[in-house]
């Protein structure tokens, strides 16, 4: 049986993938997060972070979204895996 770990979104490192478990918080900001697409069961990936670690860019449903770590701590996620190295396919014209 695979054991999952629920952590705040702010604790993920770049290139880590997770599934949203819950969105906490109150008021207009929580409503805005839900409208953007932060819903339970949605997969997201940490793309990169700014040089001073704030804000962080996330890939959520094909869209790039940046959040401050203070805002991301209200989103609980389940870690899936940490991707090591990305495979990028490049087309070459002319030669084979």
Mean pLDDT score of the chain:
83
Break the chain into its structural domains and give their ranges: 6-82
Distance separating alpha carbons of residues 46 and 14, to the nearest angstrom: 5
Three-state DSSP at 70 gives helix
Class in CATH terms, 6-82? mainly beta
Is the pLDDT at 57 greater than 70? The verdict is yes
Query: Global pTM?
Result: 0.74
Within 10 Å of residue 32's Cβ, how many Cβ atoms?
12
Distance separating alpha carbons of residues 76 and 11, to the nearest angstrom: 10
Is the pLDDT at 89 greater than 50? The verdict is no
């Amino acid at each position: 049986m695979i054991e999952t770990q629920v952590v705040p979104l702010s604790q993920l490192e770049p290139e880590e993938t997770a599934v949203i478990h819950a969105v906490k918080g109150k008021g207009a900001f929580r409503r805005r997060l839900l409208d953007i697409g932060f819903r339970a069961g949605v997969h997201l990936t940490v793309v990169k972070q700014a040089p001073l670690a704030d804000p962080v860019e996330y890939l959520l449903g094909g869209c790039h979204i940046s959040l401050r770590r203070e805002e991301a701590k209200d989103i609980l996620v389940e870690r899936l895996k940490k991707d090591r190295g990305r495979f990028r396919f490049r087309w070459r014209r002319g030669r084979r």
